[in-house]
Chains A and B, each alone.
Chain A
Amino acid sequence: MPNVKIMRVSIAADRCQGHNRCCLVAPELFEADDEGNAKVRGDGIVPADLEPKARLAVANCPEHAVRLTGI
């Protein structure tokens, strides 16, 4: 069995200021709410093929609000 870790994205709502960068680089994982702040789509579990996009969302957030963690 390969050691595959399940990854999940989350948004620290107290940090998000609505730059919308995560929604632009990974629209499969994030969307903007009615005020323009980011929220995670669904349960935030990242399919393996979207992991690079999840990492880009983390790297592009100017407020360090996007998290990618193993569960």
Chain B
Amino acid sequence: MDSRTPVEDWTIDFDHFDPQWTDNPYPIWDELRSRCPVATSQRFEDGAYFPTRYDDVREIAYDSEHFSSRRVIVREHKLPLMPGPPITSDPPEHTPARKLLLPAFAPKQIAKLEDRTRAICRSLLDAIGDAAECDGAVDYAQHIPVRVIAHMLGVPEDDGDLFRKWIQQVLIEGVRDPAAAMQAVHEMNAYFNAQIELRRANPGDDLISYLLAADFGGKPLSEAHVLGTLRLILIAGIDTTWSGIGASMWHLAAHSEDRARLIAEPGLLPTAIEEFLRAYSPVTMAREVVKETTLGGCPFKPGGQVLLSFPAANRDPAKFADADRVLIDRAENPHAAFGLGRHRCLGSNLARMEMTIAIEEWLARFPDFTVTEGKQTTWSEGTVRGPRRLPITVRR
């Protein structure tokens, strides 16, 4: 199925689509961090860099002079630049594009979605019912963010399969095959254009209507800005959170002592969620080098793509004590799962809320569960990491 050349030397030929990475990336990162903190690769157009230390990741995230956000996915073949403000924006365009969206994703607004999220989780649990076996990713985790985002955008929840197909095309197939990514972009634009027409005729209390009504420096947003932001919200808000929920469930299925403790001490759940975010951070971003510089002893050449791995930074023992251990009561945990600096994940409050409620509701319904023996858990490839098949046996 996959014709990629296996990696022999991770320091000069890294590949985040290698099956070894997909299966278990953490030992690879640990080894690189100790002997070559910035790995390189020529598998990606104009070369790619992979810094593994927290301090280097932080420095790049803060340095928009040398590292642009205009490309946020490392690809084998670069696509034409397609702005998705504010994630692809650099200063000075970044601040207004971000400020426009911040209120919609602030804790006060996100709190209003809690009841609906809980109802979504409960209906999924009802559907699992009293089955002895289920798939935690397919039957539960993957549906929660799709339905919440659909609600926020005011689009049909039943379009989830379409959304997941586009995400797969943009983030996975599209890394090797630019046509797949472009096809998804065109389909998303057509989908949102139809939705925009509906909102123009009949505005609602949803994000599409909000963007159409926005006052952006005395003018409405351009069509390209609206479409770019809508594509961003759809792509960034779904498989990321689905991965976070799934990885948390996977950990709890495999660690009965943590499961028991969370049931005995429900007040610990927010702390545990932050630890799952640190240890199993779903999201890796990218930057494009726009000005030559040196970091971690490695020269960065203009045009090069940087795999900006917050997950690897979060496993750096120089920053986190016992970095390779998952401690659900880790009190001091300034993790970077939602990024660092001006591009802090816009949806972080939403993701945290969904993860917390999803796990809370699952534990309330199924306090005792385990990874099904003899069936394989599979993990997504590429820049968003989470379980895609998570066979679970519920003990009753």
Contacts and interface: CB of A to CB of B under 8 A. Distances in A.
B331 A35 contact: no
A48 interface: no
Nearest to A59: B332
Interface residues of B, number: 23
A34 B338 contact: no
Contacts of A24: 270
B340 A36 contact: no
B334 A36 contact: no
A37 B346 CA distance: 11
A68 interface: no
Majority secondary structure of chain B interface residues (helix, strand, loop or mixed): helix
Majority secondary structure of chain A interface residues (helix, strand, loop or mixed): loop
Contact of A34 (B103, B270, B349): B103
Interface string A25-41: 00000001111110000
Interface in A6-42: 17-21, 23-24, 32-37
Given A21-B334, A62-B335, A35 B99 contact: yes
Interface stretch (B104-112, B288-296, B368-376): B104-112
Given A34-B106, A63-B340, A56 B348 contact: no
Contacts of A63: 340-341, 344
Contact of B338 (A19, A33, A35): A19
The contact size tier of chain A is 10 to 19
Interface string B316-346: 0000000000000001111110101110100
B332 A19 contact: no
Contacts of B127: none
B179 interface: no
Nearest to A33: B106
Contact of A32 (B106, B332, B336, B352): B106
Nearest to A16: B344
Given A21-B334, A60-B333, A32 B342 contact: no
A56 B270 CA distance: 14
Nearest to B333: A60
B343 to A, nearest CB: 8
Contacts of A59: 331-332, 334
Contacts of B268: none
B334 A32 contact: no
A32 B333 contact: no
A4 to B, nearest CB: 24
Contacts of B108: 32, 34
A60 B107 contact: no
B332 A35 contact: no
B55 to A, nearest CB: 13
Contacts of A20: 107, 348-349, 352
B102 interface: yes
A23 to B, nearest CB: 7
Q: Which 4 A-B pairs have the closest CB atoms?
A: A36-B106, A17-B344, A35-B102, A59-B332
Interface of B: 99, 102-103, 105-108, 270, 274, 331-336, 338, 340-342, 344, 348-349, 352
Interface of A: 17-21, 23-24, 32-37, 56, 59-63
26 contacts: A17-B342, A17-B344, A18-B106, A19-B338, A19-B344, A20-B107, A20-B352, A21-B274, A24-B270, A34-B103, A34-B106, A34-B108, A35-B103, A36-B102, A36-B103, A36-B105, A56-B332, A59-B334, A60-B274, A60-B332, A60-B333, A61-B334, A62-B335, A62-B336, A62-B338, A62-B340
